[in-house]
Every structure is written in C-alpha cells, then in structure tokens.
Structure 1
Amino acid sequence: MTTRDPIGVRLGAAALSLAVPGAGQLLRGRLRRGLAWFAACGVLWYLLPWTGPIGLLIALGVRVLAVAVDAAVIAGGPRLSAGRLIGLCLAMAATMVALGVVFRTQVMRGYRMPSAGMNPTVAIGDLFYVDLRDRAGALGAPIVFLHPGTGAEFIQRVVAVAGDRVAIRDGVLWRNGAAVPTGPAAPCRYDDRRLDRWQVATATCREERLGGRRYQVVFDARQQFPAPDDAAVDGVAAHEVVVPPGHVFVMGDNRPNSNDSRSWGPLPTDRIVGTALYVWLSQGPEGVRWSRLGTRF
C-alpha cells in the first residue's frame, strides 16, 4: 500500500537522508530502497581511490542530491513502527561512523599542502587525497610519509628505490648512471607564502619523466648532489648515493626549496603513509583555485 505524505514529511525525509543516506526512505516506509541507497553510497566512497575526481563528483552527487530527492519524491510505503524506525536509523548511523573511521584510517585520507616544497605539482593550499593502502613507494610516485627524525608528515616524490644509485649533476637527476629524461627548461610561476604573506615566485621549470609518470620540477643548473665537499668514502669523494635495502630516496619537485633525502638520507619504507592521488579542493591568495580541482598527481 502506498501513501501520499504531506510536504512536511517529504522534506523531513530529504533532510534525514542528508544526515544518514537511506534513512529518509525508511521514514517514508521504503525499507529495501533505503538500505539499497545506504549500501550504494558506501560502495561509491570505497571506490574513490580508483574512480578519482569523477568518482568523487558522482559520490557527492548521489550522497547530497540524489538520495535526498529520492526520499522526497517517492511514493510512501507501509509505515515502520517508531521503535523499528529509530533502531534502524541508529544502526545505519553507527555503521556509517564506523565505516568512516575505517575509511579514513585504512583506505583514503585528506591532506593539506602547507609549503612550497612540491611546487609546481602540489601547490600551497591544495587539499588532496592519499591512498593509504598504497605504501609501496613506487618509483616516481608522490608519497606522504613520516619524517624519520621529527615524525612530521611530508609529501615528496620517490626518485630512487633500493639498490639504485642517485645523484644530481648540474640540476639534472641521475639514476643508475644515466640522466633521467627531461624536457626543455622554461620560465614558470607559482604561489608562495612566507610569514603568512602570499607572493608570486618565478623560477625555471622542466618536465621530468620517471617511473611512467610525467611531472614538472623547479630546475636550478647550479645544484649538485652529492656536493663536491661532501664526506669522502675510503678517501674517495662520493659522486652518487646508493639507496640501501628497505629504503627509498625522496625529493620535493621544488628542488632548490625542499628539505628531503639530500639533507637527511634515504627514507625507510616503513615510514610511508600512502600515495598522493588528486586535488579535491585548492585555496590560494584569490580564493578557490577552480582550475586545480581534480588535478591528478
């Protein structure tokens, strides 16, 4: 049996589904439909590491709009008893909270970029998602990790893995005795912030290609690593660094302005938190940077 509910009940059902997806359908007497919406929202959120920015838009559209509209416009069904309705809604809310905790601690988490060390790939003010399941530290991947000394969370790029030999010569990254492929150098600009004041920084950038990824790095031809005056090994100056087992070598894409493995050594892989995925919001000196929304790393 279907019922025609007054507008107040329909709006209340829509509001309830905004709080707990599917709960508004339960209020309207559509138990199976409500549970189906609840499950669909959970699946869409869990798939975000694979579906990316488009998946995020779909998940938000379903979570915020489709479920609420459906709860308001569907024909009502047999009413649930007050006790059963409250019990089901509380169970759904508790499940949503529990799944949210699991999602944020085991699947995907949001981070904010506080500094210029990964410009131009990751801008100051970028809010981005990190896949917590991907802790392999793949070559070329931008990863979030815990600093081995301070425990602070950093985001930098893996430029060498265990067994690799790494160096920088005249600003160019070398790996295993060969220069990493790069594009032509060109002027670039990015937003920087110092002492809470925004400013536009100018630099020279070039494309770097590593591990199947293409990305821009700030280039400075004066950079050398290891530096000529670094400590010698057995009386011979070190011209490259060998990454030990269980470690990766990380650098910021803003090579002249990054506190990375060149300063404190290779990173133990057990310090890796996850792999950065894409920007879901970005705030700069002029407000929201709409052009960066959905930018993949």
Structure 2
Amino acid sequence: MIRSRQVWIAAALSLLIPGLGHMYVGHIRLGLLWLVSLYSGFVIAGAVGIVANPYGVIGLIVFTLVIYILVVISAVRLARQGKAYHLKPYNTWYAYGAAALLLLLVNHGVFSVRGDMFGFETFSIPSKVMAPSLRPGDVILVDTRDKQVEVGDVIVFYPPDQPSAYVMRVAGLGGDTIAIKAGQVLRNGTVEHRLEVAPSQRQRDYSLAMATRDIAPDQLFVLGDWRDNSRDSRFFGTIAPSSIVGTVTLIGFADDLARIGPLAVAVEATPRAIGLSH
C-alpha cells in the first residue's frame, strides 16, 4: 500500500519518543541510532560522574533538548521527501504502540537504577526537619557516588533499623567527640560553626545541652537543622558510612523558584518528620 507521510505525525511521534517518528517514515535504523545516541549521552555523563553536579544537570538538559530538536528535524525532513511511501510491515498503530510501550518500560527500568547507573538519585522532602535549608515539597538531587562526607554535608541515609531514608547534616566523623552546650555544637571541644542554627530552632532542653559523646572510628553523627523537631543521632545513635545513599548537591524543584540550585546553608525553621520519598 502507498500512502504519504504526514509531517505533523512524524514530529509528534518524535517528541513522544525519539526514534518513533523515524519508524513512522520508514527509517527505523536511523531512529534506533538517534535513540542510542540519547542513551549514550546519559551513560557517559553518569560514568564520568557529572549528573549530580549542578552544571552537569544543566548540560544534560541542554544535550537532551538538542537531541530532541535534531530528531524532530530529521524525521520531518524524511516525511517531506516523497508523497509516495510504500508502507512497511511495522507501519501500523499497534506496532507504534508496542514500540512506545517497550521504550517506556526500558526508560522506567533504567531510571529505577539511576543511582548505580548514572550516579544520582532524586528524593522529595515531606517534612521540615531540615528547614529552612530544605522544605516540604522540595525535590533534591543526591550524588550517590559521593560518600566521602565532611562535617556540614547534607546526606541521605538509612538510620539503624529504619526502612525509610532520612536527610540530615553530618555533625561528626569517626574519632570525633560531640557535645552541645548552650545550643552550640562542640566538635572536639570547639564550636563547629558549620552546624550553627537560629535560636528559634533550638529551644528545647535536648537541643540546648548534650553530654559529650565519643564517635567510633567507623561511624558518623548526624543532626537535623531544626534541632527541636529532629530525631537524629541524639536519639538513634551514630550511623555507618555504608548506610549513606549519597550527598545532597542541589534542590531540583521548589515552590519558591529562587531556591532552586546548589544547596545552601540556612538558619531558621518550622515542624518535623523524617522520611523521604523517591
């Protein structure tokens, strides 16, 4: 059967999934080449560890947009080449649907292992335990390959005997001593300014004082920024480095668009909770 190819259909299918528009115009191999190019860009970015970097995210977004634009242009040009097109066996609505479903399943599978494959994870903040640094509704990007943490880093981890991921700030490393006096966190006997929070965030007795604790060599001590409403290492004890998912690098989405970008230290707050959701 001979039918012309519609430009708008070729463009729409390409926008839906790169390569689908090429399947429509009878150039399935070229479509697969474009699709492989897109995935290769993500794999390479993940391999070199730039996906969780703010500039790497911008670069990856630009790369994806460029690929989509080129794919659409390519499919549209092929659709315009001739009005007489001999239909291929795969030029049926169910073949397009099957191809789209297959690629969506592949995308879902790849994205579900993004932490291992691309070096990043995304989490949604449901609570105010890290306010105002992180607020409910924020979507954070976590570098899953950066587990050599320092004091002051914000990390996602799994506390002892808890199935949910938490997000808190590293307050002490293995071999350190930690104490709280007059609301100030003392690390190895010295006030740790990277852990200072507003007085409004540390009104309760357990936020104003804590006896000195020794941190075992293979452990970390974590604190929430809103001390009064954070169940952290003061309550569940230290955590093992192996429980760390990664280091929070940026806020990818926030109700206040001005807050989107690299994570900044802040001081002030409001209530509680701890779990995270992907």
Q: State TM-score, norm by structure 1.
A: 0.67
Aligned to 2:52: 49
What is the CA distance between 1:53 and its match in structure 2? 4.3
Equivalent position of 1:275 in the other structure: 247
Partner of 2:181: 169
Shift of 1:79: 7.8
CA drift of 1:115 comes to 0.9
**2:19 touches 2:30 (CA, 8 Å); kept in 1?**
yes
- Distance in 1, matches of 2:135 and 2:221, equals 22
Give the partner amino acid of 1:290: L
Task: Tell me which amino acid in the other structure corresponds to 1:150.
Answer: Q
CA distance 1:254–1:29, shift in 2 (3 Å): same
Q: Which amino acid aligns with 1:37?
A: W
Instruction: Give 1:19-58 correspondences, 5 Å limit.
Output: 19-30=16-27, 33-46=30-43, 47=45, 48-50=51-53, 51-55=55-59, 57-58=61-62
8 A Cα contact 1:170 1:223, kept in partner? no
The amino acid across from 2:249 in the alignment is L
Structure having the larger proportion of residues in helix? 2
State the distance in 1 between where 2:163 and 2:198 align.
26
The one-letter code matched in structure 2 to 1:102 is: V
Q: Secondary structure at the match of 1:155?
A: strand
Instruction: Report the 3-state secondary structure (helix = DSSP H, G, I; strand = E; otherwise coil) of the residue aligned with 1:129.
Output: strand
The structure carrying a bigger strand percent of its residues is: 1
Matched, 1:264 2:231: no
Other structure's SS at 2:163 match? coil
What's the offset of the Cα at 1:36? 4.2
Aligned residue in 1 for 2:190: 178
8 Å contact 1:41–1:62 — kept in the other structure?
Answer: no
Query: What RMSD, in angstroms, separates the aligned Cα atoms of the two structures?
Result: 3.6
The one-letter code sitting in structure 2 at the alignment partner of 1:101 is S
CA distance 1:72–1:168, change in 2 (3 Å): same
SS of 1:55's equivalent in the other structure is helix
Residue identity (%): 28
Instruction: State the partner residue of 1:14.
Output: 11
User: Which stretches in structure 1 are left out of the alignment for 5+ residues?
Assistant: 182-207, 210-215, 231-238, 284-288
Give yes or no for contact 2:130–2:224 (8 Å, CA) kept in 1.
yes
CA deviation profile, 1:170-195 (whole Å, cap 9, x unmatched): 222221222223xxxxxxxxxxxxxx
AA paired with 1:100?
F
Paired with 1:223 and 1:79, the residues of 2 have a C-alpha distance of: 77
Distance 1:20 1:161, change over 3 A: same
- 1:213-228 alignment runs, 5 A limit: 217-219=197-199
Following the alignment from structure 1 to structure 2, what is the Cα–Cα distance between the partners of residues 26 and 82?
11
* Residues in 1 aligned to 2:199 and 2:192: alpha-carbon distance in whole angstroms: 13
Q: Does 1:292 align with 2:255?
A: no
Offset of residue 52 of structure 1: 4.3
TM superposition shift of 1:276: 1.8
Letter in 1 for 2:125: M
For residue 36 of structure 2, give the secondary structure of its aligned residue in structure 1.
Answer: helix
Instruction: Give the aligned partner of residue 77 of structure 2.
Output: 74
How many Å separate the matches in 2 of 1:266 and 1:24? 54
For the pair 1:141 / 2:113, whether they are aligned, the reply is no
1:254 matches 2:226 = yes
Residue 49 of structure 1 aligns to a residue in which SS?
Answer: coil
- Taking structure 1 as reference, are residues 53 and 94 closer, same or farther at Cα in structure 2, changes over 3 Å only? closer
Q: Which runs of 5+ in 2 are unaligned?
A: 46-50, 265-278
Query: Within 2, Cα distance between the matches of 1:219 and 1:52?
Result: 36
Residues 79 and 133 of structure 1: is their aligned pair in 2 closer, same or farther, counting only changes over 3 Å?
farther
Structure 2: which amino acid aligns with 1:73? V
Equivalent residues of 1:137, 1:272 under 8 A apart:
no
